[in-house]
Chains A and B, each alone.
Chain A
Amino acid sequence: MENKTKTPRVGLFVTCLVDLFRPTVGFAAVKLLEAAGCTVEVPASQTCCGQPAYNSGDRADTKDIARAVIKAFEEFDYVVAPSGSCAGMIKEHYGELFADEPEWAQRAAHLKHRTYELISFLVDVLGIEAVDAEYTGTITYHDSCSGLRELGVKQQPRTLLRSVGGLTLTELPGAEVCCGFGGTFCIKYPEISNKMVGEKTIDIARTGADTLLAGDMGCLLNMAGKLKREGSDIKVRHVAEILADMTRDVPPIGDTRGA
């Protein structure tokens, strides 16, 4: 890439769910990126990638939000998000959104080529193969749909997890099956969403793992919420928390300190 010789300047796209629910994931991203030699900045004008509006058919609001994201991030070498879903939105959908506005389409294309999901950025772009982290436990990993199918995030988190001291990775059967979150889907069709996440938690429990990881907060909130409702003591975390060795900073998702 063009920045092999200088320090890559990364704009962190925090994502709304990390901002609101799990700021630790944002700091884990910052730590991982800085440890990999990047300078990280967080543009204050960002809010959301626009997916809630986009997937609800509200193109006008989506465009307004997308323009704001493009403006906020176009000066950076890279845009990195701790989410395959939000990175996928910027990378794969902004272009189509501005198909009839050449100037903005060009700016969206410019952003597309420098936007990445966090873990795949570390592995594929920066060439990181190991992290300095410890985690005693057996983890299993759910592949979130957008990251997996839009961005090809599959091996990258596993590569880095294998370098974590004390950690055992056991594969989740049906790891590529949707957990039933689906953004507004889980609110609009809660009964179907519940059925899907219920099947997911059965698969998770079958692995015998004590910790569930994934790379997207939406899926994590959904799966953690279901596991907690079922009384499970399986711990749920964003993969970046483990890789950044920050599990002591914050209890697992849906748990209290000491859990």
Chain B
Amino acid sequence: MQSTSHAFKDNAHGALADERLQKALGKMKVGFQDKRTRAVARLPEFDTLRDQSRDIKNHVLEHLDLYLERFEANVIANGGKVHWCRTPGEARDAIVEICRSVDARIVTKGKSMIAEEIELNDHLEKNGLEPVETDLGEYIIQLRKEAPSHIIAPAVHLNKEDVAESFMKAHDKLDPNRSLEEPRALVNEAREMLRQKFLAADVGITGANFLIAETGSTVIVTNEGNGDLTQTLPKIHIVLASLEKIVPTLEDATTILRVLARSATGQEFSSYTTFSTGPRRPGDLDGPEQFHVVLLDNGRTAMLGTEFQEMLRCIRCGACMNHCPVYGAVGGHAYGWVYPGPMGSVLTPGLIGVQEAGHLPNASTFCGKCESVCPMRIPLPKMMRHWREREYEKKMSPQAFRNGLGIWAWFAKRPDMYRLGSRIAMGVLGMLGRRKGKFRSLPLAGGWTDWRDMPAPEGKTFHQLWAERQQGKASTGAATTASSSSDRKAA
């Protein structure tokens, strides 16, 4: 999708003024956080599993080539094919070519963030194919021609009234007087519409939560069962996955699965966990005739060996954004590209460039909540800081900000000058603010005082008062009241 990450501030401004969005975000935060907290509390070994999961992925990232080649060999042995794609363009071409080989018309899709990353739907449509999203959230936003605002809950920015509105408009052959007030009615209607598409589809595309090297299997987790229908009913199953999804063994996948759903939705396990190993074999009751894995790099291997390598451990659970107060304030669309929230703030600059996505790693208070809930223990704030370092080195941060920082740093490195400057500044501010105790506006501090008062300083600085106290001690030769504050006349 076309990035608007460079306009993050404007996007955020719009999001903050959008009452419907704010209502949806308010509900979302509480739900996800409470559910995760309860799920984690029920599993004493949760933190141990996090350590193990981290170690598995760290090992994989050190031997990525080995496991990917083993994966490919096993996919081929199972009768499938792997398509190695460096760029979104290569992945799109590979998929269209497979579709053309069977004169496909309808393509059903399970939820895939990689498909968003490579703008697959647009490309399929341009090539005369009809892509149909089968995940309920994805289906809704496809009807609305929107991008997902969350990596596991793509329509989390919407309220049920918004969805009812979209269904009334899109499903125009149904009774216009039907009731869509209940969520159940919405689900049933979507199911009805999708059922026809499932049966008519020629190709089914899913993502993958894991690629398993030792068996050549791919794994998806879903809660609606749509993934299973997407991949078993059509003639061809295409798995679209980025290459860091690889794990060595089934055992490794199941270890990480134990932290995935708990971190994401607070479930012990997602409703459906589906393993796909090659096309239908003789004697199988169902399954596709062809099995393809489109393996995308798109900048990921370039992150190996850099300070951003750890980001490739991410399993896309969404816990970081569910707990992020900035995401909670502005929602996912404000981030301007496929991946929102803290994981997006690290990954997006890596994939589309820090020039375009420079705001994202800056728009964090470094509160650390994301890292504290990340099942893969990815140090997200640290890596956002590394992006800020790259920006600073390239002189990309605003000049006024750099100047301010430069002046501050000059003083901070010269204690005597700093002392003098701070004494004068705080003396003036303290005097001006004495009557009201605060400022409603201050020159050069509009960013602060447009929204909140600036509490006035006491007047003298601590170091000033401390020096006076030490002098007082020295001149009286007694320090018995040193720890009492009553001898001090502050402000």
How many residues of B are in contact with the other chain, CB < 8 A?
75
Q: Give, as a whole number of angstroms, the nearest-CB distance from A257 to chain B.
A: 8
Q: Specify which chain B residues have a CB less than 8 angstroms from the CB of A21 in the assembled complex.
A: 426, 455, 457-458
Bound-state CA distance A48–B405 (Å) is 13
Q: Give, as a whole number of angstroms, the nearest-CB distance from B475 to chain A.
A: 18
CB atoms of A178 and B392 under 8 A apart:
no
CB atoms of B455 and A19 under 8 A apart:
no
CB atoms of B465 and A228 under 8 A apart:
no
Q: Specify which chain B residues have a CB less than 8 angstroms from the CB of A188 in the assembled complex.
A: 362-363, 401, 447
Main secondary structure on A side of the interface with B: helix
CB atoms of B451 and A194 under 8 A apart:
yes
A133-153 near B? 1/0 per residue, CB < 8 Å: 000000000000110011000
CB atoms of A58 and B405 under 8 A apart:
yes
Question: Given A22-B458, A24-B490, are A149 and B367 neighbors across the interface (CB < 8 Å)?
Answer: yes
CB atoms of A28 and B438 under 8 A apart:
no
Most-contacted residue by chain B among A27, A177, A192, A195 (CB, 10 A)? A192
Q: Specify which chain B residues have a CB less than 8 angstroms from the CB of A249 in the assembled complex.
A: 485-486, 488, 490
A176-213 near B? 1/0 per residue, CB < 8 Å: 11101111111111111111110100000000000000
Q: Specify which chain A residues have a CB less than 8 angstroms from the CB of B23 in the assembled complex.
A: none
CB atoms of A48 and B490 under 8 A apart:
no
Bound-state CA distance A190–B129 (Å) is 45
Q: Give, as a whole number of angstroms, the nearest-CB distance from B361 to chain A.
A: 9
CB atoms of A44 and B415 under 8 A apart:
yes
CB atoms of A250 and B450 under 8 A apart:
no
Q: Give, as a whole number of angstroms, the nearest-CB distance from A217 to chain B.
A: 10
Question: Given A21-B458, A45-B415, A178-B325, are A190 and B466 neighbors across the interface (CB < 8 Å)?
Answer: no
Q: Which of A210-243 contact B (CB under 8 A)?
A: 221-222, 224-226, 228-229, 236
Is B195 an interface position by the 8 A CB rule?
Answer: no
A residues adjacent to B (C-beta < 8 A): 14, 16, 18-24, 26-28, 30-31, 34-35, 42, 44-48, 50, 52-59, 61, 64-65, 68, 96, 145-146, 149-150, 176-178, 180-197, 199, 221-222, 224-226, 228-229, 236, 244, 246, 249-251, 253-256, 259
- Give me 27 A-to-B residue pairs in the complex whose CB atoms sit less than 8 angstroms apart, sorted by A's number: A14-B463, A20-B422, A20-B461, A22-B457, A30-B482, A42-B463, A44-B463, A46-B415, A47-B411, A56-B397, A57-B393, A58-B409, A68-B413, A96-B382, A177-B325, A177-B367, A178-B369, A182-B366, A184-B401, A188-B447, A196-B326, A196-B329, A221-B455, A228-B437, A228-B455, A249-B490, A255-B437
B residues adjacent to A (C-beta < 8 A): 9, 12-13, 16, 325-326, 329-330, 362-369, 371-372, 382, 385, 387-393, 397, 401, 405, 408-409, 411-413, 415, 418-419, 422, 425-426, 434-438, 440, 445, 447-448, 450-458, 460-467, 482-486, 488, 490-491
